[in-house]
């Protein structure tokens, strides 16, 4: 065994994966080669220090654990949860909608002339597919069950009550993904038209927002228009809310102002 | 006890204790804490849905990491244009500055910065091998790559980390020497 073999086999030697015979040859070489033994020892010390540095950092998984347990419990109760899949099966299921969404995104991109966070486009597409076009989904319609689902997502059910206290009635709810993150998707109705409200507890570092339209109730209110669909966002210290409607840019603004006032 | 309850209890016992390890690695793979938490959440949900396929008695931690890296690669494929490199603003607490290992691992910020500048592939093997304690064979299974590739990536990752930390360490030594010299001059 030569010095090059030592370099090559060092990872297996350090993890104790070298076969007994090879390990003996490795040891024998180290006994006769001071530069190799120095290198292996330096590497072992460096590994130990790296481990020490990383393990000294705080990684709190409490929030993730809570969310996972909540989702598993929801599944156990028969709620159909969204799948985090990007495979061909998902694409074939939404291929028609996807093509339309592409056109919608292109139009929005050209009209804005700038990038905006993907979550707005996702909200517009999701609202169009699930609310405007009524694609079949498993919705909860019992307010108590919806409140329970909100609670499992760390959203106080009182928030739902406050929004429903105006001219809007909570019609149905479920979970969905926007930009790879889980949101509580609620559909409200004013008696004639429905709009979507997507809620999620605010992340520690916030969320990349779209263009700020105005400050409502001391909260930045952002709006992005996508052809016939309109999305607005409102952020409080606790909650992130996205609204989507197919009515008009003015309608989503009115809704967002109302949500900013009651959140 | 129902079958569902026992499956649930088994999942709590076998899988959930590893969430912190998963988050630790995810945090160094992805650009921010929410994205890392989402990846871990997705991993554990996938694991729960496929828990019937898990063979009791086999290495649950390795199984979970394999699921996580599959999900991570799926995300990378889906967001090619997005930067998934770790940000350098979560260095963590300072640790003692004894150094002396020839690698210059003398503070947490420098190590985190150096790790962040490695490729995701190098970072992955380093974390799996050095921090999480997986063997090369296990890493090969987790990342679905040949063991020879794991060995060469580990060697290159270690070398790259040393190279990135060496200048900082040299300059720290130089600063330290300068301070000592200045203190010596200022002493009565």
Q: In chain B, which residues have their Cβ closer than 8 Å to the Cβ of A71?
A: 41, 45
Please answer yes or no on whether A46 and B33 come within 8 Å at the CB atom. Answer: no
Tokens of A207: 């969320």
Identify the helix (H) or strand (E) that includes residue A44.
helix A34-55
Identify the helix (H) or strand (E) that includes residue A178.
strand A169-178
Query: What would the pLDDT profile of B2-18 be if each residue is shown by its tens digit?
Result: 666 688 888 999 999 99
Identify the helix (H) or strand (E) that includes residue A241.
strand A239-245
Summary mean pLDDT of chain B? 75
The domains located in chain B, with CATH, are 1-87 (1.10.1740.10), 97-188 (1.10.10.10)
| B10 neighbors B60 (Cβ within 8 angstroms) | no
**CA separation for the pair B69, B143 (Å, rounded):** 7
Selected residue of A14, A44, A54 to mutate for chain B interface (largest B Cβ count, 10 A) = A54
Architecture category of domain A3-55 in CATH: Orthogonal Bundle (1.10)
Q: How far, CA to CA in Å, does B96 sit from each of A51, A87, B88, B99?
A: 13, 47, 20, 8
A206: left (phi over 0), alpha (psi -120 to 50) or beta: left
Give me the pLDDT at residue A39, please. Answer: 85
Q: Is the pLDDT of residue B22 over 90?
A: yes
Give me the pLDDT at residue A148, please. Answer: 87
Q: What topology is assigned to A62-262 in CATH?
A: Phosphorylase Kinase; domain 1 (3.30.200)
Q: What is the CB neighbour count within 10 angstroms for residue B141?
A: 18
Check: pTM over 0.95? Answer yes or no. Answer: no
Q: In chain B, which residues have their Cβ closer than 8 Å to the Cβ of A64?
A: 19, 23, 37, 40-41, 44
Residue range(s) of every CATH 3.30.200.100 domain in chain A: 62-262
Please answer yes or no on whether A54 and B111 come within 8 Å at the CB atom. Answer: yes
DSSP-assigned letters across all residues of A132-163:
IS------B--HHHHHHHHHHTT--HHHHHHH
Query: What would the pLDDT profile of B156-170 be if each residue is shown by its tens digit?
Result: 998 888 888 775 444
DSSP-assigned letters across all residues of B151-175:
HHHHHHHHHHHHHHHHHHHHHHHHH
Please answer yes or no on whether B75 and A180 come within 8 Å at the CB atom. Answer: yes
A185: which strand partners?
A174, A198
| A193 neighbors A245 (Cβ within 8 angstroms) | yes
Q: Out of A215-219, B51-55, B62-66, pick the least confident.
A: A215-219
| B67 neighbors A12 (Cβ within 8 angstroms) | no
Per-residue pLDDT of chain A (263 residues), as tens digits, is 888 888 888 888 888 888 888 888 888 888 888 888 888 888 888 888 888 888 888 788 888 898 888 888 877 766 655 555 444 444 444 455 555 555 555 555 544 444 578 888 889 999 988 898 888 888 888 888 899 888 888 888 888 888 887 788 899 998 888 887 888 999 998 888 889 999 998 876 566 677 777 787 778 888 888 878 899 999 888 889 999 999 888 888 888 888 888 88
Q: Is the pLDDT of residue B31 over 90?
A: no
A234: which strand partners?
A221, A241
Angle of helix B60-78 relative to helix B136-143, nearest 10 degrees, comes to 40
| Contacts (Cβ under 8 Å, ≥6 apart) of B76 | B84, B120
CB pairs under 8 A between A and B: 134
Q: How do strand A169-178 and strand A181-189 relate by DSSP bridges?
A: antiparallel
Please answer yes or no on whether B45 and A15 come within 8 Å at the CB atom. Answer: no
- Helix, strand or coil, per DSSP, at residue A196: strand
Give me the pLDDT at residue B23, please. Answer: 94
Q: How do strand A212-216 and strand A194-201 relate by DSSP bridges?
A: unpaired
Tokens of B73: 């690669």
| A227 neighbors A108 (Cβ within 8 angstroms) | yes
Query: What would the pLDDT profile of B112-157 be if each residue is shown by its tens digit?
Result: 788 888 888 899 999 999 999 999 999 999 999 999 999 999 989 9
Selected residue of A10, A38, A60, A61 to mutate for chain B interface (largest B Cβ count, 10 A) = A61
**CA separation for the pair B66, B80 (Å, rounded):** 21
Angle of helix A3-14 relative to helix A34-55, nearest 10 degrees, comes to 30
Kindly identify which residue of chain A lies nearest to residue B45, measuring between CA atoms.
Answer: A68
**CA separation for the pair B33, B20 (Å, rounded):** 13
Give me the pLDDT at residue A80, please. Answer: 58
B55-68 mean pLDDT: 92
Which candidate, A183, A5, A4, places its Cα nearest to that of A81?
A: A183
Interface ipTM above 0.90:
no
| B12 neighbors A32 (Cβ within 8 angstroms) | no
Within 13 Å of residue A218, how many CA atoms lie on the same side as its CB? Answer: 3
Please answer yes or no on whether A15 and B136 come within 8 Å at the CB atom. Answer: yes
Give me the pLDDT at residue B179, please. Answer: 39
């Amino acid at each position: 065994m030569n010095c090059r073999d030592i370099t090559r086999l060092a990872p297996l030697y350090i993890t104790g994966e070298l076969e007994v015979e090879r390990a003996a040859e490795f040891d024998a070489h180290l006994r006769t080669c001071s530069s190799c033994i120095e290198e292996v020892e330096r590497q072992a010390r460096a590994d130990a220090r790296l481990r020490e540095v990383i393990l000294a950092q705080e990684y709190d998984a409490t929030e993730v654990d809570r969310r996972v347990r909540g989702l598993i419990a929801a599944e156990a109760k028969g709620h159909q949860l969204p799948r985090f899949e990007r495979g061909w099966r998902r694409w074939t299921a939404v291929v028609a909608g996807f093509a339309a969404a592409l056109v919608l995104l292109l139009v929005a991109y050209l009209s804005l002339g700038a990038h905006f966070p993907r979550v707005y486009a996702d909200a517009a597409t999701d609202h169009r597919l699930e609310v405007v076009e009524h694609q079949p989904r498993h919705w909860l319609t019992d307010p108590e069950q919806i409140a329970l689902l909100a609670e499992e997502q760390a959203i106080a059910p009182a928030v739902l009550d406050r929004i429903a206290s105006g001219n809007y009635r909570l019609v149905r709810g479920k979970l969905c993904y926007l930009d790879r993150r889980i949101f509580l998707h609620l559909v409200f109705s004013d008696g004639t038209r429905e709009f979507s409200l997507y809620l999620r507890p605010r992340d520690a570092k916030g969320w990349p927002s779209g263009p700020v339209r105005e400050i409502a109730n001391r909260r930045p209110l952002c709006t992005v228009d996508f052809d016939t669909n309109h999305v607005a966002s409102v952020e409080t210290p606790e909650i992130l809310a996205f609204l989507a409607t197919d009515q008009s840019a003015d309608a989503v603004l009115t809704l967002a102002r109302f949500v900013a006032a009651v959140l | 006890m129902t079958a569902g309850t026992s499956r649930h209890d088994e999942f709590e016992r076998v899988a959930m204790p590893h969430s912190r390890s998963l988050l630790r690695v995810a945090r160094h793979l992805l650009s921010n804490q929410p994205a890392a938490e989402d990846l871990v959440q997705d991993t554990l949900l996938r694991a729960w849905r496929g828990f019937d396929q898990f063979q009791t008695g086999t290495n649950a931690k390795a199984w979970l990491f394999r699921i996580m890296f599959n999900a991570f690669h799926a995300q990378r494929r889906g967001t090619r244009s997005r930067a998934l490199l770790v940000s350098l603003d979560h260095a963590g607490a300072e640790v003692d500055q004894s150094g002396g290992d020839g690698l210059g691992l003398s503070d947490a910020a420098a190590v985190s910065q150096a790790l962040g500048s490695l490729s995701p592939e190098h970072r992955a093997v380093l974390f799996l091998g050095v921090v999480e304690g997986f063997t090369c064979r296990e890493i090969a299974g987790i990342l679905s790559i040949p063991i020879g590739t794991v060995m060469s990536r580990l060697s290159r990752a270690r070398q790259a980390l040393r190279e990135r930390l060496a200048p900082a360490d040299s300059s720290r030594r130089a600063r330290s020497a300068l301070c000592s010299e200045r203190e010596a001059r200022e002493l009565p």
